[in-house]
Structure 1
Amino acid sequence: MYNKDSIKDMQKRVDDFISQFEEGYFSPLSMLARFTEEIGELAREVNHTYGEKPKKVSEEENSIEAELGDLLFVLVSFANAERINLVEAFDQTMSKIETRDKNRWTMKNNGGSISEKN
């Protein structure tokens, strides 16, 4: 099970930071543009790591982890700006997926999950 308080804490931490500034949250279209930019940066890192396009010597060091962190920040900002509770949104989505996709793939015999490995 995941810690719902962690997600709430993330949303509060982002809101506390952004609320310090007069400008506040970006508009929905700007948020979507930022989200798209971050997806592109993540794609670039994945391509450098797993694809056939190595980084140029002049390119900055970066990581998939850093890009996922940037993407998470923008996602949380977008949710906050739209007053969306990510815990509720995630629970609704997981209920849908766990019902719709429960027989879609072949189950593992050991039932191992990422959380058990970490």
Structure 2
Amino acid sequence: MTAKDPCFTTEEIQKRVDDYIGQFKEGYFSPLSLMARLSEETGELAREVNHYYGEKPKKPTEKVKTVEDELGDIIFVLTCFANSLDIDLSEAFELSIGKIETRDNNRWTHKK
């Protein structure tokens, strides 16, 4: 796979992250540290969204980042979090989307 052809299953993402983390003695951070990292990355995403779609332009001295970069960082940290707790992201997503599809089925206006 290349950056131009990103098409990974959640299983492949989790394995790739696990292979990467597995080469270091330190391994995964603790769940609390990963939660802090996820919060940091979410804040960075919020900042980028505000720069590109909100009223707060970047300062000329600020580094160019993108929403895509920050979403990628969140996926990485979220995957570390799931792996560290032995959670299958596909199963977690299935639980979540099933709940959402049921609970919110009539919440919004359906397209005809």
Shared fold, TM over 0.5: yes
Q: Where has structure 1 moved over 2 Å in runs of 4 or more? A: none
**Equivalents in 2 of 1:69, 1:108: separation in Å?**
31
**Equivalents in 1 of 2:75, 2:92: separation in Å?**
15
Count matched residues.
105
Mapped pair 1:45 → 2:45: no
Query: 1:114 is matched with which residue?
Result: none
Query: 2:92 is matched with which residue?
Result: 89
Shift of 1:108: 1.2
Gaps of 5+ in 2: 1-7
1:1-118 aligned within 5 A: 6-109=9-112
* Percentage of pairs with the same residue: 62
**Equivalents in 1 of 2:78, 2:98: separation in Å?**
20
Gaps of 5+ in 1: 110-118
TM-score, normalised by the number of residues in structure 2: 0.92
What is the CA deviation profile of residues 28-87 of structure 1, one whole-angstrom value per residue up to 9, with x for unaligned ones?
A: 110000000000000000000111110000000000000000000000000000100111
**Equivalents in 2 of 1:51, 1:104: separation in Å?**
27
**Equivalents in 1 of 2:19, 2:28: separation in Å?**
11
